[in-house]
Amino acid sequence: MTAMLLATAMGASAGSDANGQPPYRFDFGDGPVAPSYIGVRAEDAYTPEKGYGFNTPEHMSNVPASGTGTDSDAVRFLQFGTKSTNTFNVDLKLGLYRISVTLGNTSRATVAAEGVYQVLNLTGNNATDAFEIPITDGQLNLLVTEGKAGTAFTLSALEIKRVSPKPETSPTIWVGGDSTVASYYPLATSAQGGWGQLLADHVDLRAHQVRNIATGGQIARGFRDGGQLETIVKYAKPGDLFLLEMGINDTNPKNETTEAQFKEIMRDMVRQVAATGARPVLVTPQGRATDFNAEGVHSATGRWYRRATLALAQEENVALVDLNVLSSAYFTQIGREATLELYMPGDSLHPNRAGAAELARLVAEDLERQQIRVAAH
């Protein structure tokens, strides 16, 4: 009955799945409802008869947003957290779904569903992204939560489309790391980039999806204990890859992580992911743009606890992409000035979009060299 009510609300739609189920499109806020969308106000509580709504609408509010159409208004989550019950619920058949989200006005926010992170640190008003999620219990439970303390966490629009009746994620390349790996928004045009954001350009997307769980400022302990690893362990399976790059922020004295501690935290993450049947791959961070010697050779082998990462790869018998050395060879080849042009202005650490694209290329090429197939053949 619920599916019939939702389908009736949506009407027949191009893009229906193989069973004729149209995508569900929700327009949040108290403004006009866009054509072919279901309007949802903050006060709309979930009911089994309706099949969608907020679990605790008393903790939601309607707010304006800066865009047009569906993006002109939004709802704000007043209570949040990955384990919060203040969720937007939608009854769904068992299966694998693609969830497309558009936020309202926010400076940094994260999307969670089923109690774990899904898309991290979206920035800018009306930021958009998408993810796949298996529904095994008949209901999606989604909320927008904290990416940065003190900012608003809002949702303007949501599209839900079933891509398979089998509730299992597609073969996935999971990526963990810090700001040199993370995604930046808008995804297609951001000035700054992380190699995890651009990796999909070098992957056969018919064979794998890429899920980038990296975030700026992250350290190994934070990634393991703060919920990001939890997402990967929840969904990872045989045939998946887990690319993990850490060390830049771990070496900062304020994070109080010795090289020995870093190594054991990384070992724990490698073993947890390996236990799911997925394949861990360690990646060393590239150096700074300024790591050239007087002869014009770029070298950063002493940075970012690289030695611990190399030793760990050998001890745990896992693959290693030594991006530190690979990127240095590339930077030496192109020279100082061209290397600086691959980094953000006045910043010797963070690559711009072009720099991130080159780093992603180096990672993908080295995986292929090691016969870890990710590219189209």
Ordered domains of the chain (ranges, CATH): 2-164 (2.60.120.430), 172-369 (3.40.50.1110)
Q: Predicted confidence band at 73 (pLDDT cuts at 50, 70, 90)? A: very high
Task: Kindly give the interhelix angle for 259-274 and 228-235, rounded to the nearest 10 degrees.
Answer: 20
C-alpha to C-alpha distance for 254 and 180, rounded to whole angstroms: 19
How do residues 61-72 score in pLDDT, each as one tens digit?
999 999 999 999
Query: Tokens in use for 257?
Result: 């992580």
pLDDT surpassing 80 at residue 227: yes
Task: Kindly give the interhelix angle for 323-334 and 353-369, rounded to the nearest 10 degrees.
Answer: 120
**Structural element, H or E, at residue 159:** strand 157-164
Q: Predicted confidence band at 150 (pLDDT cuts at 50, 70, 90)? A: confident
> Is the model more confident about 9 or about 158?
158
> Is the model more confident about 59 or about 17?
59
Residue 1 is predicted with a pLDDT of 41
Residue 376 is predicted with a pLDDT of 78
pTM of the predicted model, to two decimals?
Answer: 0.94
**Structural element, H or E, at residue 140:** strand 139-146
Q: Report the C-alpha dihedral over residues 20, 70, 138, 130, rounded to 10 degrees.
A: 90
Query: Tokens in use for 192?
Result: 């700054």
| Torsion 331-334-339-340 (CA) sign | positive
Average pLDDT (138-159) is: 91
Residue 351 is predicted with a pLDDT of 98
Q: Predicted confidence band at 13 (pLDDT cuts at 50, 70, 90)? A: very low
Considering 179, 183, 190, 328, which one is annotated as catalytic? 179
Residue 102 is predicted with a pLDDT of 98
What lies within 8 Å, CB to CB, of 41 at 6+ separation is 28, 29, 30, 62, 75
Residue 22 is predicted with a pLDDT of 75
pLDDT surpassing 60 at residue 20: no
Task: Kindly give the interhelix angle for 306-316 and 259-274, rounded to the nearest 10 degrees.
Answer: 40
C-alpha to C-alpha distance for 67 and 50, rounded to whole angstroms: 28
Q: Is 347 a known active-site residue?
A: yes
pLDDT surpassing 50 at residue 332: yes
Q: Distance between alpha carbon 67 and the CA centroid of its chain, in Å?
A: 23
Residue 5 is predicted with a pLDDT of 52
Q: What are phi and psi of 268, to 5 degrees?
A: -60, -45
What lies within 8 Å, CB to CB, of 53 at 6+ separation is 40, 44, 45, 46, 47, 88, 89
Residue 12 is predicted with a pLDDT of 37
pLDDT surpassing 90 at residue 218: yes
Other CB atoms closer than 10 Å to residue 294's CB: what's the count? 5
Average pLDDT (284-301) is: 98
Residue 275 is predicted with a pLDDT of 98
**CA-based Rg of the chain, rounded to a whole angstrom?**
22
pLDDT surpassing 60 at residue 325: yes
pLDDT surpassing 60 at residue 253: yes
Average pLDDT (299-314) is: 97
For residues 70 and 34, the answer to whether their CB atoms sit within 8 Å is yes
For residues 13 and 162, the answer to whether their CB atoms sit within 8 Å is no
Q: Which residues are 101's β-sheet partners?
A: 129, 158
C-alpha to C-alpha distance for 78 and 236, rounded to whole angstroms: 31
Considering 137, 201, 225, 347, which one is annotated as catalytic? 347
Considering 170, 178, 350, 366, which one is annotated as catalytic? 350
pLDDT surpassing 50 at residue 313: yes
How do residues 94-124 score in pLDDT, each as one tens digit?
999 999 999 999 889 999 999 999 999 999 9
Q: Is 13 a known active-site residue?
A: no
- Mean pLDDT, the chain, integer: 94
Residue 79 is predicted with a pLDDT of 94
Residue 92 is predicted with a pLDDT of 97
pLDDT surpassing 80 at residue 137: yes
Q: Is 298 a known active-site residue?
A: no
